[in-house]
Structure 1
């Protein structure tokens, strides 16, 4: 830990600030470029922008060679890991007051300050004996001073996990956060079962520690879950780094293992006809759900996010909420428009697809809706003898491949893919090409003549 911070920690909160000397400037607090005294008059947006910036204490000290006042390293003291003005400013005010005192006592960033440190410690020890009571340090011991690129901290395991999860809950969707929290808590539990405690320093977790954990996840759950755990842990440690709690995110140095993705198979025309015929007699709601996949090419979770108000019949538009993206607008093709019943009498805020019906109140998360319709389709698969290689996604693969092959009969490959991108929603040509290869949409013509 830097010598300046050890000195700051020794200063009593009630010691009066003495007059400044000419060889240094008065320490000041930078508060994101706004006047802290006008905080209540700032808009929410202005306050948010200020809190996005690092706050710190800064001062100048006269350089022994040039004789000029030179800007010294900013002192942040970990204040920026707090996202509210009150906590952040409270810490920095204490740092400013303490800095003023040690500067007045003779602290010099260009000299050895060990004698000053010893003097202050002895003075405070004498004060303690006189008062027969311990001095309460106002600088929290779980914070740090950042000097250049060196980060020192004694933030405990429990505090670090609580902080990250609190921050992530505010920026992630509910379903994403639930999965993220589950993986992070599994890692926390593993640490506690392998020699760590809630009071362990967060910096005691080393790269080797995480590699050991990920190897265990690989053995128990496979490559995909191991990689997912690595991704979330990287996000976890990056948040700690962004909040000045650790110096670096070493998870980025841990490799991602190559995994062979499991993709649902496309349906044959016979299988497709059997499914549609069966559902026409047994479950018209599930059939319409599937037609939204086939004709609008929506993913099951996107359909589960649809509300009545997102269906604009007059303008033939769908307003789709995509994960972590702005609302996407898609057309409703005529073939699907004919299948949608009159929705005028439904509550516009109700989900389009509710349990076994349309437009009814259904107070469950979108992921639970998706699980429900997935289970409903599994019952259909079981009836028709379809195995786990087929799922709701199979309809999307089937119809994209069907459209590609029809377009390919009349246009050049580039034009076909350009037209198809508008329909499927892929954001890049290479992404679409990879997808088409994975679902075997691009098949050659009969090449028998080449074999003769």
Structure 2
């Protein structure tokens, strides 16, 4: 039996987060000498540790099968000119079996369900792909899944920033998660069409720098100054209190209607079409319940907006910048910089709850985070520390 020309297919799990599958392959002209090859193939775009492990194991399995079937990395082309890639892929994609974008998404989600992907991760993928395919269809983009390139993806990302007001972190999450989609779809489609090649290369997309200071939380002293300044502006004061008590995003409150509020179940439904994490339910605490009673929201038609035009609950929604513009003069008067925003009240609420000893799982029901890893990253951005080391320790 001939000695295999490859060996040691294994996963390297670096503490830095740079995971890869590595193997050695014998030099064609140097028997007994091996070159080491590293393959990442998008697994580092998966941040949940369990899902990342599944992706790494799947990649390892794919590499083992390819090597067993005669794959030779010395004969594989690692880079093509974009024009050559495009033209070659158009020829391949013209094959009747090439997937449309909708077919690719359907197959990807079916794959995720088949491998028992965590429900929260699957829900996130469904929400993100829904937003992507709606944008794709609205623009009548006539491209197969394998023809989508980084230019198309950049247009989608720019759209998200402009019209959905994505934060840098959300923008970067879409790069990561849709990169997982295309990397997996190429593998899945290759099972039926081994000649298919996908154009999309996430490495040509630049991530945005995230600035936690963009929405700086209010210390008790600063918060007190603002509350005293705006308390006579009833509309703005109620709006700020709503952000604080619900931890809803300004956009979510801006489009909130009476029918989203369920006083019997003490919860507010944030529809996936206006939220960024899909459908979720926000608990109504006692303080928010009192605010709802104060505003007499149970007396209005179900299709009315909670914060409508003419400084009251009405059937007409206010402009996107309405409350931001109302808040700006107070910031100027108090000499607060641009890092203090209306959204900062959400962060202030989170820090207040954590500092008061509320459990992270309870706080996550307010923030809308789907997994602990995402919430921990959010806390790190806020520089939240609720450790016992804040109290008395040991005398010198």
TM-score, length-normalised on structure 1?
Answer: 0.44
TM-score, length-normalised on structure 2?
Answer: 0.50
Which structure has more relative contact order (CA 8 Å, sep 6+)? It is 2
Higher Cα radius of gyration: 1
